[in-house]
Amino acid sequence: MKILILEDEIPAYEKLLNFITAEIPDAQIVGWARSNVEAKSLLQTKITIDLIFSDIELLDGTSFETFEAIKVDCPIIFCTGFDQYVLKAFQTNGIAYLLKPYTLDNFQEAYTKYQRLFAKSISPDVLNELKQVLQADKKAYQRRFTSKKKDGIKLLETQAIICFEANGDFCLASDLKGSKHVINYSLSEIENKVDPNQFFRINRSQLINIDFIEKIDTHFKNKLSITMRQLSGSFLTSSAKTSDFRKWLER
């Protein structure tokens, strides 16, 4: 079986490659692309392909751009971090999908579905419908917050905020210098404005950015102690949040 992989994340590609090697003994990887430019270049060489594993989000846009530009005559297993319930709607349309983070169980499930359906290709109508549903599900998250200062208004890039901490009716945002800035939203309001893949509310009063987690240690009463880069002290998950936090770390 000749397989093409479209996946921009190297660790995800390596994990997927391991699963393919273990579960599909006769597999031959005929190409790997991380962008639409690379994918189109490979497909235009007219190489023989029996199956494509395609991430939806590539380095330069969605893989839909490639499949709309170049017709492929083989099945596609879409790889995505989108909510599985959104994709359930396409089960009857001959689409197999593999959820991130990749696990052996969901790889086997996707491959079994491919074997059962074995649709030779996806119709343009189904591809367009899938594209619209996924785009509608992709919420636009707040890219920056403002903080009023004595000398004016300061703009804080969301991705550079280490954590948000509740402080009465407003919050304090900690930046890369360890400085705190007043944000005129409650913590619940901020939680709804930021990307849940990047920020997690570890207890009633703290929302942290995964990009700045330096160390995680076990703590008593089913809690975890978290050290954040650039900040002193530690942050504790509540007992009720610990299990969900562990799962969130592996998304």
Domain range 2-137, CATH architecture? 3-Layer(aba) Sandwich (3.40)
pTM over 0.95: no
| Per-domain boundaries in the chain | 2-137, 144-249
Tokens (6 digits) for 88: 């359930």
* 213: pLDDT strictly greater than 70: yes
Task: Say whether pLDDT at 105 is over 90.
Answer: no
Q: How confident is the model over 2-40, as pLDDT tens digits?
A: 999 999 988 889 999 999 999 998 999 999 999 999 999
Q: Which CATH architecture has domain 144-249?
A: Beta Barrel (2.40)
Average pLDDT, the chain: 85
Average pLDDT for 159-186: 94
d(CA 211, CA 24): 35
Q: 43: closest CA among 69, 14, 7, 76? A: 69
**Residue 76: per-residue pLDDT:** 86
User: Is the pLDDT assigned to residue 101 strictly greater than 60?
Assistant: yes
